[in-house]
């Protein structure tokens, strides 16, 4: 509805007012271009959630009420291309979402609502620039409902005994320190290829480094090379001939790497059955709707 309102009302008014000085560019979440992201200077945040009703929004704007957070929230910061493509995206609130090369923000509400803790977690191998930007986000970029929360920045290995691991669903006294990825080598190796016959003939094309889950098209076969495994991802609406050609493309790709003494394992996955080795390549992976 918001897009339709813009297209048939606001866009026309803007184009009339600015004449030839305005260009309208439509972008989808996590497919924003660098020019758009550059305005945020790395402080671009994406939360999960629902759209507020007009009444709820009005109460918040009038400071009559704040939206209470009842569950812990984990935000992962990482760059998926150039420095401009730094995004802080809400991810699954589990220890496995931590990574020693990333910075993360963990928001833990206290019982009763209204107050809580905000932890800025700096991975052992994290980029110092991202650590600085994370601190700026914690100071003045988070939503108003977290304004009364206490803040603490900590280095990997300095996590407090109480709320940090509890917020991630871990009872450290019983389970100890949970395992999570210690490096992001996949970030330096992952490549995404689209296999498609939408133009009447079969083609394989590479997507740029700043790719996301939305680039996995339901009616295509995708090749994802994470530096160790070549995944053949099959959408739920892919015709069988395209699967056959996709498998042949994977074989050609592997043969090319073999000629350079580079080894890869081949693994086929269907939409909805992706494992962690696959999903970690995509920032902010969510279950398919």
Q: What is the pLDDT of residues 225-257, one digit of tens each?
A: 999 999 999 999 999 999 999 999 999 999 999
**pLDDT band (50, 70, 90) for residue 45:** very high
pLDDT score for 69: 74
Q: Is residue 32 over pLDDT 80?
A: yes
pLDDT score for 207: 86
Q: What is the pLDDT of residues 103-160, one digit of tens each?
A: 999 999 987 767 899 999 999 999 999 999 999 999 999 998 898 999 999 999 999 8
Q: Is residue 24 over pLDDT 70?
A: yes
For all residues of the chain together, what is the average pLDDT? 89
- The model's pTM is 0.88
Q: Compare 260 and 2 and report the one with higher pLDDT.
A: 260
Average pLDDT of the residues in 50-58: 76
In this prediction, what percent of the chain has a pLDDT beyond 70? Answer: 95
Q: Is residue 223 over pLDDT 90?
A: yes
Domains of the chain plus CATH, in order, are 34-175 (3.40.20.10), 187-279 (3.40.20.10)
SS (H, E, C) the chain: CHHHHHHHHHHHHHHHHHHHHCCCCCCCCCCCCHHHHHHHCCCCEECCCCCCCHHHHHHHHCCCCCCCCCCCEEEEEEECCCHHHEEEEEECCCHHHCCCCCEEEEEEECCCCCCEEEEEEECCCCCHHHHHHHHHHHHHCCCHHHCCCEEEEEECCCCCCCHHHHHCCCCHHHHCCCCCCCCCHHHHHCEEEEEECCCCCCEEEEECCCCCHHHCCCCCEEEEECCCEEEEEECCCCCHHHHHHHHHHHHHHHHHHHHCCCCCEEEEEECCCCCHHHHCCCCCCCCCC
User: Phi and psi for 9 in degrees, rounded to 5?
Assistant: -125, -70
Average pLDDT of the residues in 158-186: 84
In this prediction, what percent of the chain has a pLDDT beyond 90? Answer: 62
């Amino acid at each position: 509805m918001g897009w339709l309102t813009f297209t048939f009302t606001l866009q026309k008014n803007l184009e009339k007012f600015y004449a030839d000085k305005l260009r309208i560019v439509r972008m989808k979440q996590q497919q924003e271009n660098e020019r758009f992201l550059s305005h945020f200077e790395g402080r671009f945040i994406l939360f999960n959630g629902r759209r507020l009703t007009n009444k709820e929004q009005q109460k918040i704007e009038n400071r009559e009420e704040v939206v209470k957070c009842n569950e812990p929230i984990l935000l992962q910061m990482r760059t998926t291309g150039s420095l401009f493509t730094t995004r802080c995206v809400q991810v699954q609130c589990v220890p496995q979402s931590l990574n020693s090369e990333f910075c993360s923000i963990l928001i833990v509400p206290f019982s009763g609502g209204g107050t809580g803790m905000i932890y800025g977690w700096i991975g052992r191998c994290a980029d110092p620039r991202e650590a600085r930007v994370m601190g700026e986000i914690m100071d003045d970029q988070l939503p108003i409902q977290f304004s009364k929360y206490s803040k603490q920045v900590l280095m990997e290995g300095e996590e407090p005994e109480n709320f940090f691991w509890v917020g991630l669903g871990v009872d450290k006294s019983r389970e100890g320190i949970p395992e999570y990825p210690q490096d992001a080598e996949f970030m330096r190796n992952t490549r995404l290829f689209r296999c498609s016959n939408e133009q009447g003939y079969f083609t394989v094309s590479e997507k740029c480094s700043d790719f996301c889950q939305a680039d996995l098209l339901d009616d295509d076969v995708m090749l994802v090379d994470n530096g160790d495994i070549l995944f053949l991802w099959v959408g739920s609406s892919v015709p069988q001939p395209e699967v056959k050609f996709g498998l042949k493309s994977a074989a050609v790709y592997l043969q090319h790497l073999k000629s350079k003494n580079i080894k890869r394992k081949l693994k086929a996955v269907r939409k909805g059955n992706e494992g962690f080795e696959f999903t970690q390549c995509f920032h902010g992976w969510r279950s398919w709707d």
